[in-house]
Amino acid sequence: MSKTEALKRASRAVSMWGQGTNWTICCPWDRADVGGPSTTINCDSYAKARHAAARIRAGIALALMGRYTDDCAYALDMHAGSARDLVNKALET
């Protein structure tokens, strides 16, 4: 699967809502199974929720591309940016 298609599917699989200090992210429980069961993650700020959602989307995209590895997971944790930026950083490893 192409990076663009994987990022589109990952974006559709992750949602975020909330206000103030109460933000929720809904995402697939298994990053490789976007149609499977989902889970929620709570964050106490919009910035933290955006960062977490970007990392989750990037992880899903990498898994859909068959490129998710321990090195990629580390890269996602060590960098910030959009899901596309994180995927690009992870693929450099």
The identity of residue 53, as a single letter, is A
Chain segment 36-77, per-residue pLDDT in tens: 999 999 999 999 999 999 999 999 999 999 999 999 999 999
Q: Are 59 and 31 in contact (CB under 8 A)?
A: yes
Q: Are 33 and 39 in contact (CB under 8 A)?
A: no
Provide the residue ranges of all domains of the chain, joining segments of one domain with +.
3-92
Instruction: Give the C-alpha separation, 25 to 19, whole Å.
Output: 12
Q: Where are the beta strands (DSSP E) in the chain?
A: 15-19, 22-28, 38-43
Token pair 């298994």 is at which residue? 30
Q: Express as a percent the part of the chain with pLDDT over 70.
A: 100
